Structure 1
């Protein structure tokens, strides 16, 4: 969990649970604001995690799936989740996580429960881009797509920007554009390749628009490459 977050930015979160006697694994966590309401957007990265909503406060949680319990695996287990931070103004947030290190005997006898909590603060003014430049990043079209899609956005005023494509794990695939642009509407094509021209596989990707200091100008948008 980052010590401070940039509103709208996407962060890959890793949950790691270790126990020498465990052979089956589980976890659940939520991220809430100071009023107890779920903050930001949680998204699974694979078939080992899922989203659920419920409880007395209607919060959103991410937790393991049946596949994600990894029965028979010993020592430790790891899950990966993406979290998109909330819009500016959410303030400080808390992450609360519980892990279940089970012995695989299909009962709760001998299982161990671990808990932890973390806090993160909204980025300082220096971490937030110029409000006059804040952009609107449109949903790519077409979406899903094959082999190319158009990503459009609108800038409030001129400035240095970078438009890049990322995997769900937060790895940059391609930098579509980086340079000065005037205020107004702009659009660029992503051909489903990396910066070296290698064709990318089917899956979920994110377009991210940042300023010259790497600060998000708008919440990232999702796109699906379907070959």
Structure 2
């Protein structure tokens, strides 16, 4: 299997799957929430902003426990979803849900900053020409904030790849099912002789994190140039 062993490859593959789904499912609501916080004024706006950023402040274990209370098989919401064939607790889908929630604040913040950097007069000009609000967003706002959207998605993906506390609390550490890279590192460190495998996965984690940071910086610079040249 080359540099990584079978169990390590399994953890990496599962982490990629979890992170991709977490990012893809978070992106549409992330763009909507970021736009609402950047452009709209409504009652409870600060409360919404606080709830969005709450996962950054709470201990990840608390977030995982709240997810278990909400989406566990015996919880009202979890039981209802299980009846229609959707299960999150102790499944990779639950790992994706936990990772997506933990990564959501980073995504929203990056996208919100990019929206706030766009001159509202450009959107107003398109609206005065008869364009509807959704069309203004698709044709004016979205193209200008695209680097910010990509930067937010990249940061969210990296965060999802590295999520541990909420994930292990909500879906445990089941090999082949919920054992992502961070969970695998923890498991390898609990057994004699597992330090080598843990170290290899640490290298993978650092490489992914560094690549995400560099890519997000490139996107931020492109956004700055685009706004500066507008």
Q: Which protein is richer in helix relative to its size?
A: 2
Higher relative contact order (CA closer than 8 Å, sequence separation 6+)? 2
TM-score by length of 2: 0.20
TM-score by length of 1: 0.20
